[in-house]
């Protein structure tokens, strides 16, 4: 079974803090993705990576950066957290192309105060 | 125009009913189509891929109409455990990422 894990299920941070969200997959998948999910807005793609050290902006990259130093790990960084970044963050991975299924981690609920 | 549009519902149906969800997509170059299911406060999980010829998996049937850019999901003999949000998903032009609809909420009642 594919397993995607995320470092925290719940996180509370203060405005201005630097926040790291970690995601690890154990199936040697090429592609990894970060989404946020908000009520009424659905899932929105923040960044994705199709190879180690490679990254592409998604639909809403502003205020975020990512890091992929190893194939199995994809980190999402909030350089200076703001209240409008309070959300559910979901990491996903897929084998190679978009034709393949994306497998999601359990999500991190982030609250920025 | 939104990339993927779904009726948000909620759809409230009794057990045993048949229910159908529809979805339209805007990018005629899209090649891959999926239905994902998301339970409350859980991550999305693949329910089924949607193939051009239509496909069935037990009580679930998915159909694709490329000419109308329309995807459907039919659930027969609804179970209480089918209560969830169903997400219509289409690949983006770039080929790597997917566009998710906002989801259709289904509640199956006893």
Model pLDDT for residues B20-73, shown as the tens digit of each residue: 999 999 988 888 899 999 999 999 999 999 988 889 999 999 999 999 999 999
Q: Which of A48, A103, A105 sits opposite B96 (nearest CB)?
A: A48
Nearest CA in chain A to B42: A106
A97–B92 CB contact, under 8 Å = no
Check if A1 contacts B (Cβ < 8 Å): no
Calculate the CA dihedral of residues A69, A70, A71, A72 and round it to 10 degrees.
-120
Token readout for B38 is 């998301």
pLDDT, one tens digit for every residue, chain A (113 residues) = 769 999 999 999 999 999 999 999 999 999 999 999 999 898 999 999 989 999 999 989 999 999 999 999 999 999 999 999 999 999 999 987 656 788 999 999 999 99
Of the candidates A30, A51, A36, A42, which has an alpha carbon nearest to the alpha carbon of residue A93?
Answer: A30
What is the biggest distance separating any 2 CA atoms in chain B, rounded to whole angstroms? 44
Cα gap A32→A104, rounded to integer Å: 10
């Amino acid at each position: 079974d594919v397993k995607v894990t995320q470092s925290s299920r719940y996180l509370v941070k203060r405005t201005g803090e630097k926040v790291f969200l970690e995601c690890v997959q154990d199936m040697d998948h090429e592609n990894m993705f970060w989404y946020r999910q908000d009520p009424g807005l659905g899932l929105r793609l923040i960044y994705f990576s199709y190879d180690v050290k490679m990254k592409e902006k998604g639909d809403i990259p502003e205020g975020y950066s990512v890091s992929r130093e190893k194939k199995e790990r994809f980190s999402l960084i909030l350089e200076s957290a703001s209240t409008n970044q309070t959300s559910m963050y979901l990491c996903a991975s897929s084998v190679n192309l978009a034709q393949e299924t994306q497998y999601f981690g359990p999500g991190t609920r982030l609250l920025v105060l | 125009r939104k990339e993927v549009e779904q009726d948000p519902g909620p759809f409230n149906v009794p057990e045993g009913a048949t229910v159908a969800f529809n979805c339209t997509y805007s990018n005629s170059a899209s090649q891959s189509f999926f239905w994902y299911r998301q339970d409350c406060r859980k991550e999305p999980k693949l329910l089924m891929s949607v193939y051009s010829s239509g496909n069935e998996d037990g009580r679930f049937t998915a159909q694709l109409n490329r000419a109308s850019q329309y995807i459907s999901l039919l659930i027969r003999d609804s179970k209480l455990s089918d209560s969830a949000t169903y997400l219509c998903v289409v690949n983006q032009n770039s080929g790597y990422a997917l566009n998710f609809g906002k989801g259709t909420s289904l509640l199956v009642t006893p």
